[in-house]
């Protein structure tokens, strides 16, 4: 059931930030094809220079300059709009989290472990920001790869297949390492949450700790959690 909720969250975020989302992914599409067209123009200029094709080298050169400026403008717009999308979406999710916490009743608020909420919310919101911020870049690279493969296939099929021979192995290794990476990320989040919980509980109960002379024990516990967190990272 977790996957549909994640998909629903992404759809709601995009609906709440339509302008930034359309601008980010639209410029990502255009930037991908602009970057692929530049090597094609370079090849065309070489053909004209060697006499293999007819045309004007100066016209092609000016076209390459214009295309490079267009690529720069599209890349800048994509970075700006993706940052705007990620920041606005992160703020929207943060407000939703706060509203959810405020809707809890008394017993529900008593069951909250403050350190867990603070640590995990910060980590998840930062990862959410990173995913949305890098998604347009991923779209650009994916489209650029597909367009490059299409161009290579039109030139020489055998050389294209040879250059792509290792791609299945790379995809398999990436998929295999995803499980271990997910587990390591989860342990890292849990350890950071434990440390934050200990600090929050110790600070909140500082009078109790001092009254019972437990300062050394709490300091040792903090040192232990900090060392474990450092080892996990």
Return d(Cα 86, Cα 125) in angstroms, integer. 10
The answer to whether residues 174 and 90 touch, using CB atoms and an 8 Å cutoff, is no
Which of 2-16, 22-36, 77-91, 170-184 shows the lowest mean pLDDT across its residues?
2-16
Return d(Cα 98, Cα 92) in angstroms, integer. 10
| Token duo for residue 24 | 């980010």
| Token duo for residue 169 | 């192995």
**Residues 6+ away with beta carbon under 8 Å from 45:** 57, 60, 61, 64
Interval 35-55: pLDDT, tens: 888 877 887 888 788 877 777
The answer to whether residues 196 and 118 touch, using CB atoms and an 8 Å cutoff, is yes
Interval 93-115: pLDDT, tens: 888 888 888 887 777 666 776 66
Q: For the chain, which residues make up each domain, given as ranges?
A: 2-156, 166-233
4 pLDDT tier (thresholds 50, 70, 90)? very low
Using the 8-state DSSP alphabet, how is residue 104 labeled?
-
How big is the chain by its Cα radius of gyration, in Å? Answer: 26
Q: Which CATH superfamily is domain 2-156 in?
A: ABC transporter type 1, transmembrane domain (1.20.1560.10)
């Amino acid at each position: 059931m977790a996957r549909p909720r994640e998909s629903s969250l992404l759809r709601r975020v995009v609906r709440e930030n339509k302008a930034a989302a359309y601008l980010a992914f639209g410029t990502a599409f255009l930037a991908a094809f602009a970057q692929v067209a530049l090597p094609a123009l370079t090849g065309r200029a070489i053909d004209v220079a060697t006499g293999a094709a007819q045309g004007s080298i100066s016209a092609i050169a000016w076209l390459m300059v214009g295309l490079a400026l267009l690529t720069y403008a599209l890349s800048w717009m994509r970075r700006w709009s993706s940052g705007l999308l990620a920041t606005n979406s992160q703020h929207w999710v943060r407000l939703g989290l706060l509203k959810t916490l405020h809707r809890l009743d008394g017993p529900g608020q008593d069951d909250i472990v403050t350190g867990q909420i603070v640590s995990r919310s910060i980590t998840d919101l930062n990862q959410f920001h990173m995913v949305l911020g890098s998604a347009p870049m991923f779209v650009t690279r994916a489209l650029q790869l597909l367009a490059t493969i299409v161009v290579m296939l039109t030139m020489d099929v055998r050389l294209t297949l040879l250059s792509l021979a290792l791609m299945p192995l790379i995809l398999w290794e990436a998929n295999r390492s995803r499980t271990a990476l997910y587990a390591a990320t989860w342990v890292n989040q849990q350890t950071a949450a434990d440390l934050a919980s200990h600090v929050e509980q110790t600070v909140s109960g500082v009078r109790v700790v001092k009254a019972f002379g437990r300062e050394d024990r709490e300091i040792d516990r903090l040192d232990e959690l900090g060392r474990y967190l450092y080892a996990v990272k």
